[in-house]
Structure 1
């Protein structure tokens, strides 16, 4: 695994715990010689993660649509900043560049990005690892909702094995590197369960 796309908030959250975990993640990626692929912003958890990776000698590639260059404040010190035309192109480019996906706390945009790559995994569009860094139980409500989907028959239980969940960034990355995607062959004709 050479590159991980990190999805996270363009704000820093309510407590310093989120900032601390963003810093730890950036350092952990650099220490493992894994390039950070992210949204290209200089602010919030995006900027904190990028700064930590850069400070530790890591490579960082940002992908940002023209319309957000000023709003999200494009990071000026990245290894590479790729400017694209739209949000769709941004997500597509990040997914193409990445060998895996890691979700930090964030808002609606982070959730959209998570559900897109999770759905693509269920459909067999990719077989890349998806990690969720559950900082201070932030994602407990989401994980409970996914379990509810399984119980109610809208999400196949085997798809939960596509998600690696952890509370410590270094250990989560190491777990993600060992990911062996589940076989989808028997579920391919069950579109209602993706």
Structure 2
């Protein structure tokens, strides 16, 4: 059985754009305030752009610690947030993601684009395979992640995923409740493979 351990740091995946709805920015601020209030370390992609920048700015303004992990290419393009507690520069995106995972005790996704979805599904896949036992959650601002929840349910209904794995990603609209749930979270203990269907 996986025993929950207290969270010390959380990796946040989110957009380097702001989105069209003001709720996305306010949601990022609310999560940043809660991360700082709990004394958690923010680990994120290191830029000052979009929701990523909003998140880091909020954590820092509230007296928290923000650690940025950024690729050499993005750093050379001038995307590094100038006020971080500390930062690391990695050779490429794969090493960036691996380093973020190493530095985090859990993962939260905010609204974003391709990179956010890719990071979210990668850490969830690694849980499914048993490569790590760190919780993953989505702050479901304005229902942004409802299509993701629907896709997971669809994969179960079509015989490609077990229910336990579709339900291991947490969803909530409230940062307080979301982090509370992450602190209680335990990884599923079932294997990923389903039985062979009868012809």
Which category describes the TM-score, using the shorter chain as reference length?
Answer: over 0.9
User: 1:26 touches 1:49 (CA, 8 Å); kept in 2?
Assistant: yes
The corresponding residue for 1:7 is 13
User: 1:107-122 alignment to 2 at 5 Å?
Assistant: 107-122=113-128
User: 1:25 touches 1:169 (CA, 8 Å); kept in 2?
Assistant: yes
User: 1:165-184 alignment to 2 at 5 Å?
Assistant: 165-184=171-190
User: 2:36 touches 2:63 (CA, 8 Å); kept in 1?
Assistant: yes
User: 1:6-85 alignment to 2 at 5 Å?
Assistant: 6-71=12-77, 73-85=79-91
Output one character per residue of 1:8-64: Cα deviation in whole Å (capped at 9) or x when no partner: 000000011100000011110000011000000101000000000000010010000
The verdict on how the C-alpha distance between 1:33 and 1:182 changes in structure 2, with shifts beyond 3 A counting, is: same
The corresponding residue for 2:132 is 126
Question: 2: distance between equivalents of 1:81 and 1:2?
Answer: 17
Structure that is richer in helix per residue: 1
Query: What is the aligned residue count?
Result: 190
User: 2:162 touches 2:192 (CA, 8 Å); kept in 1?
Assistant: no
The verdict on how the C-alpha distance between 1:71 and 1:138 changes in structure 2, with shifts beyond 3 A counting, is: farther
The verdict on how the C-alpha distance between 1:71 and 1:145 changes in structure 2, with shifts beyond 3 A counting, is: farther
User: 1:37 touches 1:60 (CA, 8 Å); kept in 2?
Assistant: yes
- Shift of residue 105, structure 1, vs aligned partner: 0.4
- Shift of residue 71, structure 1, vs aligned partner: 4.3
- Shift of residue 161, structure 1, vs aligned partner: 3.0
Question: 1: distance between equivalents of 2:193 and 2:163?
Answer: 15
Q: Superposition RMSD on alpha carbons, in Å? A: 1.5
The corresponding residue for 1:157 is 163
Q: Which runs of 5+ in 1 are unaligned?
A: none
Output one character per residue of 1:68-95: Cα deviation in whole Å (capped at 9) or x when no partner: 1154711000001101110001000000
